[in-house]
Structure 1
Amino acid sequence: MAALLVLLVVAIVAAWGWHRYAAFSRGPLATVAPHSRVTVAPGDSFRGMLARMRGQGVSQGSDLEWLLLGRQLDAAGKLKVGEYALEPDDSPRELLLRMRNGKTIQYRFTIVEGWNIRQLRAAINRASPLKHLSAEMDDAALMTALGHAGEHPEGRFLPETYLYTSSDSDLDVLKRAHAAMQKALAAAWKARQPGLPLVNADEALVLASIIEKETGLASERPAIAGVFVRRLEQGMKLQTDPTVIYGIGSGYDGNIRRRDLVTDTPYNTYTRFGLPPTPIAMPGVDALQAAVRPQPGKALYFVAVGDGSGRHVFSDSLSAHNTAVSTYLRTRRQTLQQAGGAAAPQLDAAPAEGAQDADADSDKPADGSEPGR
């Protein structure tokens, strides 16, 4: 009889213990503050990780219950290094499964279409909690660290959103962005239209970067690509402002002046024929595809409509383009007057090929005067 009583007591205690353990393993971590985090560091023991969680306010369960749960889930000794979210509605079971499976907190870093390398590097230097290994490197050292020594960094990183964890470095993110651009560029070049005046994929990347800077409208990119491709085919200068701006560099103050159009730099497509030596920005996939599959047609010029829509008017001849520029000026003048009576800019029509503007040394803004407007 006594033995039966002992067995009954043991069974009751075991049932109570199991019920308590089950409630612990599936109950919420209610004492944790929202958006808390815990890190599993290299070499951490299960007990060390648990001690850090206690420091974050985890009071649920005894250490023994946590150890039993870790063994039950095959998590003890198999926790993945990284940073994990601790939320009040998490259960110990859910948390340990995340740690065993390495489902760490993911952060986002977005490369914006049209950024240049200076903008990209400034942005990634601000990204947190990345490990910043490249901040003191110049561009050449950066490309060497990425495994592409001697390559110019401009245009080589695909605009996209990249996920990273607290254990990643800026070089890890940039390597992924570089690989993504290589893949996208190779795919675009493989699908290119026959007969393009482009020698290789690198030239397609340069052209795509110019297209990217000329318009934010994906629907217009093939048409703009068509203008530039036809100008290349006919031996015309591209005469596009974004390349001039890139050549000015950090000295650009927001206005292109006529003197800028005649000041020669490797990137000035008013003074030089063909494409500039490198990309001028990071082009997106739409711009890459437009560069290799331009829209057919006869247009050799374009100018902004000027109504804030971002749309352009395309022209087959210089005279038609000059008319479109005049319309643009009237629209801009009306817009500025309605906004407060400011004087409208005095803009010039694009000169005929080989001609020089008689007022080329003036500091007067020359925006809108080129075919890439």
Structure 2
Amino acid sequence: MSEQHPSPSTSLWGRVGRGLLLVFLLAGSVAFYLAWQALWKPNVAASPFGPAYLYIRSGSSFQAVLDSLRQHELLRDPETFEQVARWREYPAHVRPGRYLLTPNLSNSELVAKLSRGQQDTVAFTLDAFKYKPQLVRQVARQLEADSGQLRRLLNDNGLLLRRYHLDTTTILTLFLPGPYRFEWNTSATQFLDSAAAMHQRFWTPRRRQQADSLRLTPTQVHVLASIVQRETSEPTDKPIIAGVYLNRLRTGMRLQADPTLLWAIGNFGVKRVLNKDKLVDSPYNTYKHKGLPPGPITSANRQSLNAVLRPAAHQYFFFCARPDHSGFSDFAESYADHKRNARKYQHTLDSLKILR
């Protein structure tokens, strides 16, 4: 029986088929490799200036996200990110926030992070402030919260009374200076609500009992603490000064607190209070008006608040800054002793030629 050999045409088609299969396999491998690279190859560009953040404002479109990524050169290859984002339907799930972009993130990981809204919170310290615009500026520098809306809320008496039981003057007692942590896209209302929650946590039942024993409301404690805070930064002097003012309140004596006078004239840089300053027509002029002023003259910190809640027990009614400018005060029970202390301080100002 003779052997049958494939015809030349059959052999040719076999070789063509194997070649095409090889081409398809090679093309598939290349496509798979390119797809893998688009999905999983690190694509976030390293920054020489430290951590890089992507800020997505509320209501932003996918195109706005792409524009921000390109403008700030946060990606090595924006085109592959756009491809992966569209594959994963991210354009329909854009979430606002502040997102940390680490150099090892792939397109797939970045899209997943953005789609889930896995933003990184903003930690900042709220510094003590005297006026509402100073608060607004601090918040606007750190959060997306609209500064105009925050200003309007702080001056909406009806809303403040309903929501926080404070008015446009006492609302500043709501804020405790110190560390805060927020999502970047926190709104103005959310910021106020968070400050109110922190305020409520500070006012424990024990602290409320301490305020009651002094015959003060929490708001009045904040107002008095703001005066103490402006008088001194020395922790050991704060409870003593708080005791002085409480002694004056109990006996019906005017507070005669220089910091409230400086708030009234709008100048905290004054070193020497003059008699003409004491004539200013303001409810914050505690040389004219008895009792506490209508609101705080700065945002009181926890140390100042605790100094008022736990004042030193003594018979002092007067105090004056020491002439050595140490930050401490000399205390006196009688006005005659106080005058002697005050003359020493004034002589120091004279020697330094400080007239104001």
TM-score (norm 2): 0.71
The percent of aligned pairs where both chains have the same amino acid is 24
User: Which residue is 1:221 aligned to?
Assistant: 238
User: Which residue is 1:155 aligned to?
Assistant: 173
- 2:156 alignment partner, SS class: helix
Distance 1:30 1:55 in 2: 13
User: Which residue is 1:102 aligned to?
Assistant: 117
User: Which residue is 1:309 aligned to?
Assistant: 326
Q: Cα RMSD over matched residues?
A: 4.3
User: Which residue is 1:203 aligned to?
Assistant: 220
* 1:238–1:273 Cα contact (<8 Å) kept: yes
Q: Are 1:322 and 2:339 an aligned pair? A: yes
- For residues 110-259 of structure 1, the aligned pairs below 5 Å read 110-121=125-136, 123-124=138-139, 129-134=144-149, 137=152, 140-141=155-156, 144=159, 147-148=163-164, 151=167, 152=169, 153-164=171-182, 167-185=185-203, 189-190=207-208, 192=210, 195-196=213-214, 198-248=215-265, 250=266, 254=270, 256-259=273-276
Distance 2:210 2:257 in 1: 23
Provide the aligned length of Structure 1 versus Structure 2: 333
Q: Report the CA distance shift for 1:203/1:127 in structure 2 as closer, same or farther (over 3 A).
A: same
Q: Report the CA distance shift for 1:149/1:274 in structure 2 as closer, same or farther (over 3 A).
A: closer
Of 265-274 and 24-33, the range deviating more from structure 2: 24-33
**Which 5+ residue runs of structure 2 have no aligned equivalent?**
1-13
* 2:264–2:285 Cα contact (<8 Å) kept: yes
* 1:243–1:280 Cα contact (<8 Å) kept: yes
- 2:285 alignment partner, SS class: coil
Q: Report the CA distance shift for 1:241/1:6 in structure 2 as closer, same or farther (over 3 A).
A: same
Of 216-225 and 255-264, the range deviating more from structure 2: 255-264
Distance 1:211 1:98 in 2: 47
Partner amino acid, structure 2, of 1:102: G
Q: Report the CA distance shift for 1:232/1:102 in structure 2 as closer, same or farther (over 3 A).
A: same
For residue 294 of structure 1, report the CA deviation from its aligned partner: 0.8
Distance 1:188 1:4 in 2: 86
User: Which residue is 2:284 aligned to?
Assistant: 267
Q: Name the one with the larger helix percent.
A: 2
Q: Report the CA distance shift for 1:211/1:56 in structure 2 as closer, same or farther (over 3 A).
A: closer
Of 279-288 and 259-268, the range deviating more from structure 2: 259-268
Distance 2:80 2:153 in 1: 53
- 1:238 alignment partner, SS class: coil
* 1:29–1:60 Cα contact (<8 Å) kept: no
Partner amino acid, structure 2, of 1:173: F
For residue 283 of structure 1, report the CA deviation from its aligned partner: 0.9
Q: Are 1:277 and 2:265 an aligned pair? A: no
* 2:122–2:142 Cα contact (<8 Å) kept: no
* 2:145–2:187 Cα contact (<8 Å) kept: yes
* 2:69–2:78 Cα contact (<8 Å) kept: no
* 1:206–1:275 Cα contact (<8 Å) kept: yes
User: Which residue is 1:297 aligned to?
Assistant: 314
- 1:303 alignment partner, SS class: strand
Distance 1:221 1:31 in 2: 49
Partner amino acid, structure 2, of 1:211: V
Of 272-281 and 236-245, the range deviating more from structure 2: 272-281
* 1:85–1:104 Cα contact (<8 Å) kept: yes
Distance 2:105 2:124 in 1: 27
Q: Report the CA distance shift for 1:67/1:329 in structure 2 as closer, same or farther (over 3 A).
A: closer
Partner amino acid, structure 2, of 1:174: L
* 1:131–1:167 Cα contact (<8 Å) kept: no
Of 212-221 and 257-266, the range deviating more from structure 2: 257-266
* 1:130–1:165 Cα contact (<8 Å) kept: no
Q: Can you list the C-alpha shifts for 1:317-346, whole angstroms capped at 9, x where unaligned?
A: 333323322333344455x2xxxxxx255x
Distance 1:171 1:259 in 2: 42
Q: Can you list the C-alpha shifts for 1:81-102, whole angstroms capped at 9, x where unaligned?
A: 3343446554334423432442
TM-score (norm 1): 0.68
**Which 5+ residue runs of structure 1 have no aligned equivalent?**
337-342, 346-364, 366-373
- 1:218 alignment partner, SS class: coil
Distance 2:24 2:246 in 1: 86
Q: Report the CA distance shift for 1:64/1:84 in structure 2 as closer, same or farther (over 3 A).
A: closer
* 2:43–2:107 Cα contact (<8 Å) kept: yes
For residue 278 of structure 1, report the CA deviation from its aligned partner: 2.7
Alignment match of 1:27 (pick from 33, 36, 42):
42
